[in-house]
Structure 1
Amino acid sequence: MKRIFRYRLSVISMHPSGQSRRHILLAGFLFFTGLWAHPAVAQYACSGNQPGQRVVGMSQGGNGVAPVPLCVDDPSTLPQYQAPAYEAPPGPQMVWMDNYMTMAWHADASDGWIATGFGSFQAAEAAAVGACAQAMGDGCTVGTGVRNGGLALVRDEDGALWENVGDSVAAAKRVTLKSCREGGGKHCGIIRTAFAHPWLEAVGGLSLGQPIILAPEGDFRRKYGSVAWIDSKAIGGPWGSTVWVSTGRHKAEDASSAAVNACEKASGQQCVAARTVSGGAITIATDTTRALHVGSSAVYKTAAKDAESRCKEAKVECTVTATYDVQQVGDWTHDSNAALKAAVSK
């Protein structure tokens, strides 16, 4: 019988077979690998699964002591930090505010005072009348008001003012021009427009309205001009080709009196005012029969067209021989036939 173990001075020698040697080496490798891959983790008594812990077993109980859970540290169970979501504070409640606008005018003014950006018709009217009165004194009148819309101011060929409102500036222009023409105006010109814009405002906050007064610019006091000629009834025939013109007067009667007095003084005949207007221009025209025609317009550049249109109504052809700016102060004598001959000779 072959001996496998041999005793030598307390040393045991083993001569394993080839298969046994492989088993021993594999076991040793697994043992040391296990120690390296799974280092010892300290266990401790705990109350159960808590953040940062993990239960791995129970302690041995006995002698009246109950077993308790055993835990190890486990960072994976800690709650993850999350930054709190930012929520912007709620903004103020916004509301659209109505914009009220109106106009005030005076009989001696060739323009008006427009008040806009106000929170009520009453406030707008008070502001417009106050601005007018500050410039003109007593006699200011409130015109038509509008809320969140447009306003247009028109002057006709005689200098009369017309104003109206609409949902937009374009609508206000249309209705105002229509009113002027239906009222007898032949040449109505727009001199001013405005629009009242609503605005956004925080509920309970400060008002964001911007009240303003759109006042007339320049010399807004009304000026009158008048044309006088010899009264045909006084002489029983044609009154000639000469007219007398007075412009730049602050009252209609002053302009007509100045023109008539100049006519009578120069001709020795009874004279009458042929036409008295406010603002714009006066135009003198002569037709083919040498008869005179007096036209006027709110705008200087269209005054000639007004005289020509009057000739068309009379079914005669005319030639414009003079145009006078009513705003300019002065007195003139105009011989239409002489001016026509001078023009033809050129």
Structure 2
Amino acid sequence: MVIYAFWNNKGGTGKTSLIFQSLTFYAHQHPDERILAVDVCPQANLSELLFGGLTNNGSETLLMRQGEIPRRTIGGYFEKRLPSPFTIPAFDAHDYISHPVDYNPAIPENVDLIAGDPLLELQSNAISTLSSTQLPGTNAWLAVIDWLRDLIATVGDEYDTIFIDSNPSFSIYTQIALSSADRLVLPVMADDSSRRAIQNAFSLVYGLKLPSEIYSRYAFATRLAEVDRELPKVHIIAKNRLTQYMGAASAYAAVLRSIDNDVTALLKNNPEMFSFEKTEDGVVDIRDFQTTGVVAFARGYPLFAQRPGRFDVMGKRVRVDGEYLANSVEAVQNLVDML
């Protein structure tokens, strides 16, 4: 079983759209595998897409899942763990798992989902406090960080590949998500803030270039290393939302080259943090989906299931161009081929 986490501490990089397309493409092309999507984000946008998107009642379906007892969400599972943070209580992971195709026929049959939940924001302070508890003989932080690993362990033999959508923050629930992953997919944009975001990501996850020894002592990487736990390896850096026509040859080319240069330097100095040996083997360009993406995401449709033509989106007729659609499918396929 391989677990991928899609994360960047900078918002707006298209992380959720990429994981939605990647996991559905992957599931469609590997029908004999079981895929689990885990939405560890209080915005729960991935869950809404899988349940049907804006125009196909995705939000309403998600609200129904959140209204069940127990909540059929990651927040429902965390609610179970709050009274028992350091020992694993009796629970059935299937209480928190949904089958998206039951609500959205565009989703492959072999995809399951643990939905996101805004309750995560309310739970965050309590979880952080619990992780700082001083207990003789118990590593409270590790016990809390392992909550998602505990859940996955109970159903791990049912799934071949797991995709985790994580929040742009580095809050405690994001750390829970990332510590569960084997491989990290890092979406970035063609702007200088995304270049800085790569540097920030390596500081937060891998403890690189921290401002002082004080921070290093409490760093995520340091605490996992102290208990001989491996960090996820960077598997793909997806340069996302490049213009359809100009691609990497646009005015952003200098920034894109600088991102490649930064990755090359990191790869040379810290090869153990990556799953690839050459920059070109781990970096992929993703064209902007433009109108094609607007329509597909509004409908909760993977791009491979989307068709060209005119569609009604919230009372407006929107046209999906066949060439744009083919370009978008190719872009996602290039990413999925690297998984």
TM-score (norm 2): 0.21
For the pair shown, the structure with the greater C-alpha radius of gyration is 1
Task: Return the structure number with greater strand share.
Answer: 1
